[in-house]
Amino acid sequence: MPKTRRASASLTKKANKANIRLLDGNQAAAEGAKLSRVQVIAAYPITPQTPVTEALSEFAERGDLKAEYVAVESEHSAMAVCTSASMVGARTFTATSAHGLAYMHEMLHWAAGARLPVVLACVNRAIGAPWNVLNDQQDSISQRDTGWIQIYARNNQEILDSIIQAYKIAESVYVPVMVCFDGYVLSHTEMPVDVPSQEDVDRFLPPYKPHTILDPANPKNYNLVTLADPRANADGVLCHGYMELRYLLQEALQNSAETIIKVGQEFGELFGRNYANMFWKDNLDDADIVIVAMGSLAMEAKVAMGMLREDGLKVGVLGLRMFRPFPKAALVKALEKARLIVVFDKNISYGSEGATSSEIKSALYGSQIKAAVRNFIVGLGGRDIKARELADAVRKSLPSLKTGALNIEYPEWICYI
């Protein structure tokens, strides 16, 4: 990387003019990684993520991207390459889906625990058994407790933009970031995407500065066995125990909202697309009925909103962008007027309900909001979700608007049983 590159100096200057290209979600992710000048890429092919790996290896082989591309033999190894490369100061990237993400599980914990700013694109896909290669969000939701920041994109522009922002966020708070986008719905669907110039991205994103650097001249031992209680070093200075290190990770995620919004705002100032938010709001100002959805489903929900508004219902859509950290306080503020919240989940926490539904309910607890929360499980394993089905689910929930019923134990499923 040229040493002359300085990010902050010229942020006030507007970006170069729009460069609209027709990209599918996977191409948008690969372009985002390339523009972020990733230095080490390690990935293993899995449907529907495969084109990301192909695009990046082509960039690397062609010399368009000065990066080490490691064609590893598994996803577990992909993340191990990323964590170790990150420890010696390289900016790292990987992408995966479903079983690949599940296979990485141990290493996801390791990356977050070691506070390494790895960025991962998760092309959301269902998990077996039985085999299914189509879209839902069970894969990334199953990794919610690994200590990663999770961003969900609604469209291909957001995929590209979020990956660039992800590096700035991750390298500011030293927490890895997962950028999630729906398989096929986005990954294999072309959309117009404004691809920023390298020059502008370089102005936005400074080079990676590791928090620790491994060097024989100053030997350090990374991720050593750490006891529960604080322990003194050779100079008698008390150092953190395991529990304090875990607290610091939680604190970093808790405080990351500020960074996420700041980075989103800076991005907006430079590129004209503002991300200074944790979720997207559509027509919430007068809405007493709010549809909550995450990823591309939030776009589908907007179509349903239009149908319901024609019926005279005051419906808005809250599209979750951040799932971790979960923006509880901001959500409560945004949902102030809501009397009925209909949450659609493309995942299920078996024996309980959809993950975002639980989060919304938890956010509302203790607030002044007296809204009924209805949860629908939709679109698992690529089941098509039609806007009118979403609208019907809202209509079906309308009695709760009057009764304010809160205690619906389990979610309803939009399926044939």
Partner 1 sequence: MKVNAVNLTETEYVLPGNRTCPGCALTLAYRHILKALDGQVIVTVPASCLTVLHGMYPITSVNVPCVNTPFASTGASATGLVAGLRATGRKEITVLAMAGDGGTHDIGIQSLSGAAERQEDFIYICYDNEGYMNTGNQRSGSTPLGAITGTTPILGKRQNPKDIAAIMEAHCLPYIATSNSSYPLDLYEKVRKAKEIKGTRFIHVFAPCAPGWQFPYSDTIKIGQLAVETGLVVLYEVENGIFRLTSASESLARKGNLKPVREYLAKQGRFKNIAEEQISQLQDWVNTRWECYIDRATNF
Using CB under 8 A as the binding rule, whether residue 88 contacts partner 1 is answered as yes
Using CB under 8 A as the binding rule, whether residue 20 contacts partner 1 is answered as no
Using CB under 8 A as the binding rule, whether residue 119 contacts partner 1 is answered as no
Using CB under 8 A as the binding rule, whether residue 239 contacts partner 1 is answered as yes
Cα–Cα distances in angstroms (integers) from residue 294 to residues 148, 161, 280, 301, in the given order? 17, 17, 10, 10
Using CB under 8 A as the binding rule, whether residue 228 contacts partner 1 is answered as no
Helical ranges in 235-296 per DSSP H:
242-271
Cα–Cα distances in angstroms (integers) from residue 46 to residues 53, 92, 97, 123, in the given order? 9, 19, 6, 10
Using CB under 8 A as the binding rule, whether residue 220 contacts partner 1 is answered as yes
Using CB under 8 A as the binding rule, whether residue 106 contacts partner 1 is answered as yes
Using CB under 8 A as the binding rule, whether residue 39 contacts partner 1 is answered as yes
- The site string for partner 1 over 353-392 (x = CB under 8 A, - otherwise) reads ----------------------------------------
3 state SS of 398:
helix
> Cβ 367 to partner 1, closest distance in Å?
41
Using CB under 8 A as the binding rule, whether residue 401 contacts partner 1 is answered as no
First vs last C-alpha separation in the chain: 56
Strand duo 20-23 + 68-70: pairing: unpaired
Of the candidate residues 43, 82, 170, 348, the single one contacting partner 1 (CB under 8 A)? 82
Binding part of the chain for partner 1, among 2-10, 70-78, 178-186, 300-308 by CB under 8 A, reads 70-78
Using CB under 8 A as the binding rule, whether residue 249 contacts partner 1 is answered as no
Name residues whose C-beta falls within 8 Å of residue 26's C-beta, 6 or more positions apart in sequence.
Answer: 48, 49, 50, 51, 52, 55, 123, 187, 188
Distance CA 297, CA 86 (A): 33
Using CB under 8 A as the binding rule, whether residue 40 contacts partner 1 is answered as yes
Using CB under 8 A as the binding rule, whether residue 225 contacts partner 1 is answered as yes
Using CB under 8 A as the binding rule, whether residue 72 contacts partner 1 is answered as yes
Size of the site for partner 1 (CB under 8 A): 46
Q: At what angle do helices 105-113 and 75-87 cross, to 10 degrees?
A: 10
Using CB under 8 A as the binding rule, whether residue 110 contacts partner 1 is answered as yes
Sign, Cα dihedral of 1, 37, 248, 226: negative
Distance CA 293, CA 332 (A): 16
Name residues whose C-beta falls within 8 Å of residue 272's C-beta, 6 or more positions apart in sequence.
Answer: 14, 15
- The token pair at 360 is 């919304």
Binding part of the chain for partner 1, among 73-81, 276-284, 299-307, 373-381 by CB under 8 A, reads 73-81
> Cβ 318 to partner 1, closest distance in Å?
38
Of the candidate residues 5, 76, 188, 281, the single one contacting partner 1 (CB under 8 A)? 76
Of the candidate residues 89, 206, 268, 306, the single one contacting partner 1 (CB under 8 A)? 89
Strand duo 231-232 + 238-239: pairing: antiparallel
Of the candidate residues 33, 35, 80, 290, the single one contacting partner 1 (CB under 8 A)? 80
Of the candidate residues 10, 16, 19, 74, the single one contacting partner 1 (CB under 8 A)? 74
Binding part of the chain for partner 1, among 39-47, 315-323, 345-353, 391-399 by CB under 8 A, reads 39-47
- The token pair at 163 is 């990956």
Using CB under 8 A as the binding rule, whether residue 102 contacts partner 1 is answered as no
Using CB under 8 A as the binding rule, whether residue 216 contacts partner 1 is answered as yes
Q: In what order do the strands lie in the sheet with 119-124?
A: 68-70, 40-42, 92-96, 119-124, 177-182, 149-152, 322-324
> Cβ 199 to partner 1, closest distance in Å?
22
Name residues whose C-beta falls within 8 Å of residue 121's C-beta, 6 or more positions apart in sequence.
Answer: 29, 32, 33, 49, 52, 93, 94, 95, 96, 159, 163, 178, 179, 180, 181
Specify whether the CB–CB gap between 221 and 212 falls below 8 A: no
> Cβ 230 to partner 1, closest distance in Å?
9
Nearer to partner 1, 70 or 179 (CB): 70
Alpha carbon 22 to its chain's center? 23
- The token pair at 295 is 């990823």
Using CB under 8 A as the binding rule, whether residue 265 contacts partner 1 is answered as no
> Cβ 101 to partner 1, closest distance in Å?
16
Distance CA 19, CA 211 (A): 35
Binding part of the chain for partner 1, among 21-29, 79-87, 291-299, 315-323 by CB under 8 A, reads 79-87
Nearer to partner 1, 72 or 330 (CB): 72
Binding part of the chain for partner 1, among 17-25, 158-166, 171-179, 210-218 by CB under 8 A, reads 210-218
Q: Which positions lie near partner 1, rule CB under 8 A?
A: 39-40, 42, 67-68, 70-74, 76-78, 80-90, 92, 106-107, 110, 214-216, 218-227, 231-234, 239
